[in-house]
Amino acid sequence: MNELEILSEDWERGLAVVAHPDDMEYGASSAVAKWTAQGKQISYVLATRGEAGISSMHPEDVGRLRSAEQQRACEAVGVSDLVFLDHPDGLVEPNHALRRDLAREIRRVRPEAIISSNYRDSWGGPSWNHIDHRSVGIALMDAVRDAANPWVFTELVEEGFEPWDGVRFVAYNASTVPTHGVDITGFVEAGVQSLLSHEVYLANLDSDPDEVPGQFLRDWAAGAGPSIGAEAATTFELKTP
């Protein structure tokens, strides 16, 4: 018996919302590769450019570099619509400004499905999740409701963004309390290549030099597969507005 439900794929337009360049590439991008191959339209919105992510480099240089790497990561999985909101890396707050920016993008894209990353306090065990991940995850659900409400952020209508109440669910990848899974058999390598597009960023992380690039993604996918009766899977925590 499968442990998780299979995430519905009977939708055509999706929006990925995360905090930093590379956040989608830790599992979710393989699902994106599958969906774009099906003909679905997927857009990406990033709260920051990840400019505080490499301590040995100046933030302005890092922001430009990571933006370019994210563009290549998107191209690897068939995504061309990429927007940066330019909130400050490491200082993202789930405030009205972030909610407004996210609501604007939701109204612009008009998605049926929204994909994000783990917003929980932990990645498991004693680990502590990044504040930007938590802030974006919290603000996102509120922004979905804001996007649907004509009386919240009325200035967005003046900008030409009419309310949108068509979001069916928000799916948070790599949550510690997953509820659903996506069969990504045949698309794991596309996700790996998407992650490896972040070449300079990955080179500045502390990692095992003997590890095969992207092997942990392959291992995660294989380990998650049995949860939905598949060879390879990625998991999500599903929330509805």
What is the overall mean pLDDT for the chain? 96
Please name each of the domains of the chain with its CATH number: 5-239 (3.40.50.10320)
Q: Long-range CB contacts (< 8 A, 24+ apart) of 141-145?
A: 141/170, 141/239, 141/241, 142/94, 142/99, 143/98, 143/99, 143/100, 143/102, 143/103, 143/106, 144/106, 144/114, 144/170, 144/241, 145/241
The alpha-helical segments, DSSP class H, found in 77-180 are 96-109, 131-148, 155-158
Q: What span, in angstroms and rounded, lies between the C-alpha atoms of 64 and 86?
A: 12
Which residues in the chain land under pLDDT 70? 1, 207-210, 213
pLDDT value of position 53: 93
pLDDT value of position 208: 64
pLDDT value of position 219: 96
Q: What is the Cα gyration radius of the chain?
A: 17
Q: What span, in angstroms and rounded, lies between the C-alpha atoms of 27 and 36?
A: 15
pLDDT single digits (tens) 175-229? 999 999 999 999 999 999 999 999 999 989 876 655 776 899 999 999 999 999 9
Task: Show the tokens assigned to 139.
Answer: 């603000």
* 165 within 8 A of 148, measured Cβ to Cβ: yes
